[in-house]
Amino acid sequence: MRGDLIVVFGGSGFVGRQVVRALAKAGKRVRVPMRRPHLGHELRVMGDVGQVQLVQANLRYPESVARALEGAGGVVNLVGLLSEKGPQTFAAIQAEGAGVVARAAAARGITRLVHMSAIGADPNSPARYGRTKAAAEAAVRAALPGAVILRPSIVFGPEDNFFNRFADMAKFAPALPLIGGGKTKLQPVYVGDVAAAVVAALDLERARGRVFELGGPRIYTFKDLLAFTLRETARARALVPLPFFLAHPLGMLLDAAFRLWPFADAPLTGDQVQMLRRDNVAHTEDGIGSLFDLGVTERESVEAIVPGYLWRFRPHGQFEPKPA
Ligand X SMILES: NC(=O)c1ccc[n+]([C@@H]2O[C@H](COP(=O)([O-])OP(=O)(O)OC[C@H]3O[C@@H](n4cnc5c(N)ncnc54)[C@H](OP(=O)(O)O)[C@@H]3O)[C@@H](O)[C@H]2O)c1
| Site residues (vs ligand X, CB under 6 A) | 9-10, 12-16, 34-36, 58-60, 78-80, 88, 93, 116, 118, 152, 154-155, 161
Q: Which is nearer to ligand X, 165 or 231 (CB)?
A: 165
Write down the least CB distance from residue 60 to ligand X, Å: 5
Hey, what long-range contacts does 157-164 have (CB within 8 A, 24 or more apart)?
157/14, 157/18, 157/190, 157/191, 157/192, 157/305, 157/309, 158/308, 158/309, 159/14, 159/17, 160/14, 160/191, 161/14, 161/82, 162/188, 162/225, 163/225, 163/229, 163/306, 163/309, 163/310, 164/309, 164/310
Beta strands in 217-323, from DSSP E residues, in sequence order:
220-221, 238-242
Q: Which residues contact 38 (CB under 8 A, 6 or more apart)?
A: none
Write down the least CB distance from residue 245 to ligand X, Å: 25
Closest-approach residue to ligand X (CB): 13
By residue count, the chain amounts to 324
Say what the alpha-carbon torsion angle 156, 159, 163, 169 is, to the nearest 10 degrees. -160
Write down the least CB distance from residue 267 to ligand X, Å: 15
How far does Cα 166 stand from its chain's mean position? Answer: 17
Start-to-end C-alpha separation, the chain? 56
Q: What is the DSSP letter of 85?
A: B
Write down the least CB distance from residue 189 to ligand X, Å: 8
C-alpha distances in angstroms, 172 versus 159, 175, 261, 316? 20, 9, 20, 15
Q: Which residues contact 138 (CB under 8 A, 6 or more apart)?
A: none
Q: Which is nearer to ligand X, 40 or 180 (CB)?
A: 40
